[in-house]
Chains A and B, each alone.
Chain A
Amino acid sequence: MTATPLVEMRDIRVAFGGLQAVDGVSVDLYPGEVVAIVGGNGAGKSTLMHALAGAHAADSGQILVNGAPVTIANPRDARSQGVEVIYQRLALADNVDAAANVFLGRELRTRTGALDDAAMASATRDVMKRLNPRFTNLTTPVRSLSGGQRQSVAIARAVHFNAKILIMDEPTAALGPAETAQVRELISQLKAEGIGIFLISHDIHDVFDLADRIAVMLQGRLVGVVNRREVTKDEVLAMIILGAAPAGDPRA
């Protein structure tokens, strides 16, 4: 991989009070690549990704998108850089419908500035045709949808706005087997379109099925980044639990 990385995060630090949640972590991501961020609870995976998503700005460090340094202080900054996030459960407003959620914060409007609900419903339906053809429930509050359908809504949001960089936080945690398979298929599809994906996951099987590279974190530090084809699951588990980098890893 000699091309410019899509994203480069350099020496990112985030502290909550006295706790150093992310301590000098550097990772990168190339187009069409899935990089899994793994680690136990409190390892700092989500905090690291929140810094890229603008949900919680980093205290120090540098973020480069396509080789250019950028400032990401809030979710709007992140979106303007093509960063979209699929949160595990946080990011849907339960009381409004799928279209309103897909366009939340970026509503389509008519010439008079009023919400163009019909246009939003129509665009949502078109995205859904691609993602989840069985999804037809565009006008009921998303509260009444299943976990998989809700996840479809979250993914539709990212897809509709042409994400370049996608952060998926435990995308299959709340889903059944069939829906998980669907999300996996979708990830391959997005990869093929050249989108770079950071995948936060607890599930080592998910990680080995989907990721190209695996970044392991422990207690806020980066243990190492390994190529999925060059390691075994046991080696990765050892990194997660013990912080033991496998022999020959240049980054450890």
Chain B
Amino acid sequence: MNTTAPTTTAAPARRRSWRSVVASAEIDTRQTGMVVALLAIWIVFHLLTDGGFLTSRNLWNLSVQSASIAIMATGMVLIIVSRNIDLSVGSLLGFLGYVMAVLQAHWIPDIFGFGFDRPLTWLATLVVGVLLGAAIGAVQGAVVAYGGVPAFIVTLGGFLVWRGLIFRMGQQGKTISPLDSNFQLLGGGPDGSLGATRSWILGALGCGGVVLSVWLSRRRRRRYDLAARPMALDAGLAALACAAIVAGVGLVAVGYESPIDGTPTGVANPVVILVLVTLAVTYLARRRRFGRYVYAIGGNPEAAELGGINTRRTVMMTFVLMGVLCGVAGAVQTARLNAAVTNLGIQNELDVISAAVIGGTSFAGGIGTIAGAVLGAVIMQSLRSGMVLLRIDSPSQDIVVGVVLVTAVGIDAALRAGRRRTVVATLVVGLVVAALIIQTGRQ
């Protein structure tokens, strides 16, 4: 989807040919840049913490901590791409989490009389939470799309309404705990991981999926006699993806031994959910008409309308999807806490929007990728996690994340305008300010 504007002035032949290889490979240069940035952040923190960052334990925790924000960020991308915003996700997540907690701890056992901790309680709870999220998303989306009220206002209202409802339900701050034992597994607690064998099976499925999708894409392009990428390049990229999967499963998930019994933990359930959500939303965004329409609306709303697209319905559906994802993320967060608290999800809307934006989503509309937003969430969580290891106080963490957010978007804008000097200047200023704050914020 994204390309950087190529400069057409006479470039040395060697560089031009390198560019043409990149172009024919259809590699997303922006996403590649973000992966490089993430690796740089990891290495810097690893050095600063004397080898404390790139450990199985830290990366495993990082993956679990990123999951909930990343799950919601995948939906936020589509909302921002279609030139809207959703400020209500933190409150909505809290509200859905609270409803799900009350449902499994009180309503199902007491009101319906099925008892606590039944085998299917977790599923019923999750389904109700997700459906309620979809319904609330539909209401907010309908007011935006059909009512003509700006999304900023509608979801600002939602931000207040859903948080207020939590307090009304919770009688001024009551915590709901404990939760259903199966439901808790969604949060990736002590037993909420796949273990070694199933993690390797998941990894194998992932590698198989990568190879299959590359092969299918090549076959399809051949059938229509379209230029396919060089075989070696496709094979190389597939091998790289598989290597990353194997490294993730082997070094991080299976490498992390449970602090309780010392057995390999495996991939945590929230991460499994995140992977499934990412695949599903990416499929929606890239392979379905819905996604195509979302991007077309973001690129040119008039053209989309004139093209006969039902733009209002499409916009409403982005909010429905967001509501569903808030339900999923709400389940993950409450399960992880084994409790529903009234301040669950506070400020999450800002983290989710930041993740999408750091991940390359443009507020001008039409541009943004699902994988980028997940990367954005991981980058943010990496910064926080690294700063925690460095014992940097929480206010300084916020300042650094804020500086990084603005720097990332500034670099992106300068790259798009082709102003290389501005890119370098922004990067240097951002890094210096961040370093200064990290240095002075150490306790």
Q: Which residues of A contact B (CB under 8 A)?
A: 53, 55, 74-76, 79, 85, 87, 90-96, 100-101, 104-107, 109, 113-115, 118-119, 121-122, 125, 139-141, 144
| Residue B295 at the chain A interface, CB threshold 8 Å | yes
The distance in angstroms between the C-alpha atoms of A74 and B26, with both chains bound, is 37
- Sample 12 A-B pairs with CB under 8 A, ordered by A number: A76-B308, A94-B300, A95-B298, A96-B1, A105-B304, A107-B292, A118-B223, A122-B225, A125-B226, A139-B26, A140-B3, A144-B5
CB distance from A120 to the nearest CB of B (A): 9
Contact residues, B347-371 vs A (CB, 8 A): 366-367
Complex: how many Å from CA A139 to CA B300? 18
**Bound CA–CA A118/B303 (angstroms):** 23
Residues of B within 8 A of A96 (CB): 1, 292, 295-296, 299
- Select from chain B the residue with minimum beta-carbon distance to A119: B224
Contact between A91 and B303 (Cβ–Cβ < 8 Å)? yes
C-alpha gap A76/B283 in the complex (Å): 27
The answer to whether B304 and A121 have CB atoms under 8 Å apart is: no
Q: A87–B3 Cα gap in the complex (Å)? A: 26
Inside 8 A of A114's CB, which chain B residues have their CB? 283, 287-288
Contact in complex: B307, A75 (CB < 8 Å): yes
In angstroms, Cα B299 to Cα A159, docked, is: 23
Is there an interface contact between A122 and B304, defined as CB atoms closer than 8 Å? no
Known contacts A115-B288, A141-B3; A104/B367 CB under 8 A: no
- B226, B289, B299 — which one has the most chain A CB atoms within 10 A of its CB? B299
**Contacts of B300 on A, CB cut-off 8 Å?**
90-95
Question: With a CB–CB cut-off of 8 A, which chain A residues contact B442?
Answer: none
**Binary per-residue interface labels of chain B (264-291) against chain A in the complex, 1 for a CB within 8 Å, 0 otherwise:** 0000000000000000000100111100
Closest to A92 in B: B303
Task: Select B226's contact among A55, A91, A106, A122, beta carbons within 8 Å.
Answer: A122
What are the 3 A-B residue pairs with the smallest beta carbon separation, nearest first? A95-B299, A122-B224, A105-B307
Q: A93-B296, A94-B366, A100-B292 are in contact. Are A118 and B220 (CB under 8 A)?
A: yes
B210 CB to nearest chain A CB (Å) = 18
A202 to B226, CA, bound (A): 40
Query: Are B224 and A121 within 8 A (Cβ)?
Result: yes
Q: How far is the CA of A91 from the CA of B309 in the complex (A)?
A: 12
Cβ of B306 within 8 Å of any chain A Cβ, yes or no, is yes
Is B289 in contact with A93, judged by CB distance below 8 angstroms? no
Cross-chain contact A94 with B299 (CB below 8 angstroms): yes
Cβ-defined partner of B308 (8 Å) among A90, A95, A105, A140: A105
- Chain B residues, Cβ within 8 Å of A144: 3, 5
CB distance from A78 to the nearest CB of B (A): 9
